[in-house]
Amino acid sequence: MTAERYDARAAEPKWQKAWDEARTFETKNDDPRPKYYVLEMFPYPSGRIHMGHVRNYAMGDVVARVKRAKGFNVLHPMGWDAFGLPAENAAIERKVHPREWTYSNIATMRGQLKSMGLSLDWSREIATCDPSYYRHQQKLFLDFLKAGLVDRKKSKVNWDPVDNTVLANEQVIDGHGWRSGAPVEIRELTQWFLKISDYSDELLGALDHLDRWPEKVRLMQKNWIGKSEGLLVRFMLEGARDNLSEVEVYTTRPDTLFGAAFVAVAPDHPIAQAAAKDDKKLKAFIEEARKTGTSAAAIETAEKHGYDTGISAVHPLDPKRKVPVYVANFILMDYGTGAIFGCPAHDQRDFEFATKYHLPIVRVVQNGPEDAPGVPLLEADTGEDGTLVNSEFLNGLSVQEAKDAVAKRLEAASIGNRPTGKRQVNYRLRDWGISRQRYWGCPIPIIHCEEHGAVPVPDKDLPVQLPDDITFDRPGNPLDHHPTWKNVPCPVCGKPSRRETDTMDTFVDSSWYFARFTSPDRTDVPVDRKIADHWLPVDQYIGGIEHAILHLLYSRFFTRAMKKAGYTSLDEPFAGLFTQGMVVHETYRANGEWVSPEDIVITGEGAARGATTKAGAAVEIGSIEKMSKSKKNVVDPDDIIARYGADTARWFMLSDSPPERDVIWTESGVEGAGRFVQRLWRIVTGIAALAVSGKPAQFSEDALALRRATHAAIAAVDENIEALRFNVAVAKIYELSNAALTRLNSGADDASVRWALREAGETLVQLIAPMMPHLAEECWAVFGKDTLVARAPWPKAEASLLVSDTITLPVQVNGKRRDEITVPAAASPAEIEEAVRKLESVVRASEGKPLKKVIVVPKRIVNVVV
RNA sequence: GCGGUCGUGGCGGAACUGGUAGACGCAAGGGACUUAAAAUCCCUCGCCCGAAAGGGAGUGUGGGUUCGACUCCCACCGACCGCACCA
């Protein structure tokens, strides 16, 4: 047996070179085998890869390698989500050109990814900041424009005052910019929009068929789209100026119409605006409401305020009833009609409002005697179970019946030739504003002419390239400050015109890259339709949960838009989605300063667990958090790869924690993974040293036991990898390696044992190959193979070795395990019962009393009831 | 507030559709080898009683269904995540 240690540092580059030279992972589009497209979310080239990338790409690589071994033609590409703000920040802070900064980061990170030994087809690499990519994106934009999927409109936008740009609704989190974290302000700008809301219902409905997506993500998207079914209701007004004779409200609870206590409109509603013309107080109120609408702090504490306009609204079901019209700060102008009727008894906001302004609170839905009309409500009753009361012709109906009855009655009634009510479905999802006032993004290919308006850049002039000579010496968009770039003739009339200086939201870049990977060599079109239709959808997409809404929803829309524009034939880009957890690490502080894990020593365990710095100072162990530079709890993949090798890093990322949960990075965990690499190496070199001849006709009992372990491991590892339960697959590999090592250490005089050991060894190598590919190749060579294990077919479990002649069943007495019994596998339940009744432990436990019942569950368990 | 996910040893976690709870790894303890250390190998390792054999309770808490519950149902407690004036 060799005592040499496995040298990852020497072996890993060697095998990476071997794969490269054999073009092992380059994929041909015309390969006749069934296709399988594995994709991990491509990285932003921030500078260096982090452990999260290692985990993400290790998982994807396991899937890619296993599918390849199973005979699929696997597409597993990599690229760069390369436009974005950090490049501009680097330009400002360090005077580096965004392009230079980005490409140098890409070079570094490409090198790091290559050192991981991922089975990627690098010949398909793309970077979204490259004109060879974004020219097609500009073409797509223009085709979407033709297809009626683009809109240009003035709108209130979320303005990020730190990044100096517009954000989509999805990019505002708790009133703060998703990247800068700055409180978002509201501004009015003319913006380009992609009409994602045209697809609201389809994007919602199709979620039901995405059965290989996490339930959680589907639910988040469903809530985001926010479908509601309701009724538009017209209220006639008395006392409004500017000929505003009515207000239309939107409601999902028309059944509660007889509980209406007021009508409220948004501060920006025309009625509010008109009323404010000769009401200074109202004007001030509206100003105030606007302010609180934008400041993030106010949103949290937001108290409901209203202003009585003095206008009356006539109840549409009973003209004798009149309710006051308020302007209220909690009404949103861009949802529904910007106006509501308030029913305090059955809506919590309306309840608070009515309480504050002493408006009547009348219950109209009753569910049980405790809801009697005389009993005052302490809060709104928002339940939809119950029966209508106090509601004239609706009395006695259920909520659903009443909704229908009101809708029918109002649809039939009309004022001025228009029906008083109209059913309407509303969505929370708004159109996707894609204009960004930034330099480092895809230019929007439009030229503004005074005469001809927004004119598309002709195809022959694409791409509209970003100019290189730009400066970042003043705030705002460098494209707008550029002396010449934006001055171009109108494509229609040739008169001096102005180029659009906004660039596209970078989420546009990532909304179709998966399609571009299918034919990245086509310079003439964004995608080759036939090839894209062949490869798409992505069979397995893997990435972080943080993209549950933004990226995934945009991509689903974009895929439909591409279909409409004639580029592909599919609706859904990702058939299978897996969201992996983060890599987290303990945090440490000494004297109020964050301390890096490298600089501390852990002492004790359990409650006594503590830490000191290497210099001996007391260290406070903090919470476990996502690795971040600011908390110094970062472990650099390069260091780990240099010290242990890529295989160890990959193995550790796949072990222990379920892939969808966070994994805690620990020093001892990596060491354990490193030990396993050496142990496997010893097992393999030990087995390889044994003399083996042909497959024996007879196996000894020991040999057979090992063979059973081998084939059970194949079955279990396969099953768990298919289900993406990498941690369990790893455990099953440990079991087989333990069995093999034990066998090896207790001697192998028997030829059939040696054969079984050899089988176990080779199987082990194949099973680890998707996770630790370099070690596997080295071991494969030790076994004398002159082929790559990366090209070897996936092992198959022999069915005959997965079953045995006898089985051991646990025996319970009254549900407690008391004994076990070994019976022939073919034994009938009656025979088993017979044998169990005679068991000494059963006789003892029953104390001579007759057995009430014996339950035999075939192949599982026997339970005796005494 | 609404919606969701999850609570299992010192730690990460496993347990197929209701059928031996704690696989596997980490940490810990003991031993072998060594001049010594590292590496490696062997043994022990959830809790309580017991020298052992064996026994008892046990998967956040309380109840229920079942021959049998980590798994299903009800209520509660806790952690995490998402949404949050969407009419």
* A242-258 per-position pLDDT tens digit: 778 899 999 999 999 99
* Å: A94 CA to B3 C1': 45
- Whether the CB-CB separation of A234 and A319 falls below 8 Å is answered with no
* Å: A861 CA to B72 C1': 20
Which tens digit of pLDDT belongs to each residue from A68-113? 999 999 999 999 999 998 898 888 888 999 999 999 999 999 999 9
pLDDT value at A293 more than 60: no
User: What is the layout of strands, in order, in the sheet containing A806-813?
Assistant: A816-824, A806-813, A861-865, A853-857
Under 8 Å CB-to-CB from A54, ≥6 apart: which residues?
Answer: A116, A583, A637, A649, A650, A653
β partners of residue A38: A540
Over its C-alpha atoms, chain A yields an Rg (Å, rounded) of 34
CB proximity A602–strand B (7 Å threshold): no
Strands A806-813 and A861-865: parallel
- Whether the CB-CB separation of A117 and A774 falls below 8 Å is answered with yes
pLDDT value at A31 more than 90: yes
* Å: A625 CA to B78 C1': 20
Span A204-225, average pLDDT: 91
- Whether the CB-CB separation of A77 and A39 falls below 8 Å is answered with yes
* Å: A677 CA to B18 C1': 39
Q: Which nucleotide is nearest to A343 (CA to C1')?
A: B87
pLDDT value at A605 more than 90: no
Picking from A647, A643, A687, the residue whose alpha carbon sits closest to that of residue A667 is A643
- Length in residues, chain A: 866
Token pair recorded at residue A152? 């240009």
**Calculated CA dihedral for residues A285, A291, A296, A302, nearest 10 degrees:** 0
Burial class (CB in 10 A: 0-12, 13-18, 19+), A378: exposed
* Å: A140 CA to B80 C1': 41
Q: Which nucleotide is nearest to A663 (CA to C1')?
A: B12
Share of chain A above pLDDT 90, in %: 61
| Cβ atoms < 10 Å from Cβ of A469 | 10
Helices (H), A566-666: 637-644, 646-654
Look up the protein residue whose alpha carbon has the minimum distance to the C1' of B26. Answer: A669
Range of weakest confidence among A238-252, A456-470, A715-729, A811-825: A811-825
- Whether the CB-CB separation of A34 and A67 falls below 8 Å is answered with no
Strand B near-CB residues (< 7 Å), A 829-858: 853, 855, 857
Strand B nucleotides within a 7 Å radius of protein CB atoms: 3-5, 10-16, 19-21, 23-28, 39-42, 55-57, 67-69, 81-87
CB proximity A403–strand B (7 Å threshold): no
Confidence band for A185, pLDDT divided at 50, 70 and 90 = confident
DSSP tag of A630: G
Q: Which helix (H) or strand (E) holds A55?
A: helix A51-69
pLDDT value at A598 more than 90: no
Q: Which nucleotide is nearest to A730 (CA to C1')?
A: B24
CB proximity A360–strand B (7 Å threshold): no
Strand B near-CB residues (< 7 Å), A 248-287: 250-253, 266
Range of weakest confidence among A375-379, A388-392, A482-486, A736-740: A375-379
Q: From CA A788, how far away is CA A781, in angstroms rounded?
A: 8
Contacts within 8 Å (CB) and 24+ apart, A806-810: A807/A859, A809/A859, A809/A860, A809/A861, A809/A862, A810/A861, A810/A862
Does residue A169 or residue A765 have the better pLDDT? A765
Strand B near-CB residues (< 7 Å), A 291-310: 292, 299, 302, 304
Mean per-residue pLDDT of chain A: 89
ipTM strictly over 0.90?
A: yes
Strand B near-CB residues (< 7 Å), A 727-746: 727-728, 730-731, 734-735, 738, 741-742, 745
CB proximity A330–strand B (7 Å threshold): yes
pTM: 0.92
**Within 13 Å and on the Cβ side, how many CA atoms surround A688?**
19
Q: From CA A44, how far away is CA A509, in angstroms rounded?
A: 11
pLDDT value at A831 more than 90: no
Q: What is the pLDDT of residue A847?
A: 66
Look up the protein residue whose alpha carbon has the minimum distance to the C1' of B20. Answer: A810
Longest CA–CA span in chain A (Å) reads 109
* Å: A741 CA to B31 C1': 20
Does residue A287 or residue A341 have the better pLDDT? A341
Contacts within 8 Å (CB) and 24+ apart, A734-741: A734/A676, A735/A709, A736/A709, A736/A710, A736/A760, A736/A763, A736/A764, A736/A767, A737/A676, A737/A679, A737/A680, A737/A683, A737/A764, A739/A706, A739/A709, A739/A710, A740/A683, A740/A687, A740/A706, A740/A709, A740/A764, A741/A679, A741/A682, A741/A683
CB proximity A349–strand B (7 Å threshold): yes
Confidence band for A710, pLDDT divided at 50, 70 and 90 = very high
CB proximity A230–strand B (7 Å threshold): yes
* Å: A764 CA to B14 C1': 21
* Å: A817 CA to B58 C1': 14
CB proximity A231–strand B (7 Å threshold): no
Which tens digit of pLDDT belongs to each residue from A468-479? 999 888 777 899
User: How many helices (H) and strands (E) in chain A?
Assistant: 26, 39
β partners of residue A322: A314
Q: Which helix (H) or strand (E) holds A134?
A: helix A131-146
Residue whose pair of structure tokens reads 């036939």 in the numeric block: A530
Q: Report how far apart, in Å, the C-alpha atoms of A82 and of each of A105, A126, A167, A466 are.
A: 10, 9, 18, 14
Q: What is the pLDDT of residue A562?
A: 97
CB proximity A814–strand B (7 Å threshold): yes
CB proximity A704–strand B (7 Å threshold): no
Q: What is the pLDDT of residue A300?
A: 44
pLDDT value at A297 more than 60: no
Strand B near-CB residues (< 7 Å), A 137-196: 173-174
Q: Which nucleotide is nearest to A545 (CA to C1')?
A: B81
Span A775-804, average pLDDT: 94
Confidence band for A604, pLDDT divided at 50, 70 and 90 = low
Helices (H), A618-666: 637-644, 646-654
Q: Which nucleotide is nearest to A224 (CA to C1')?
A: B83
- Whether the CB-CB separation of A163 and A180 falls below 8 Å is answered with yes
pLDDT value at A275 more than 70: yes
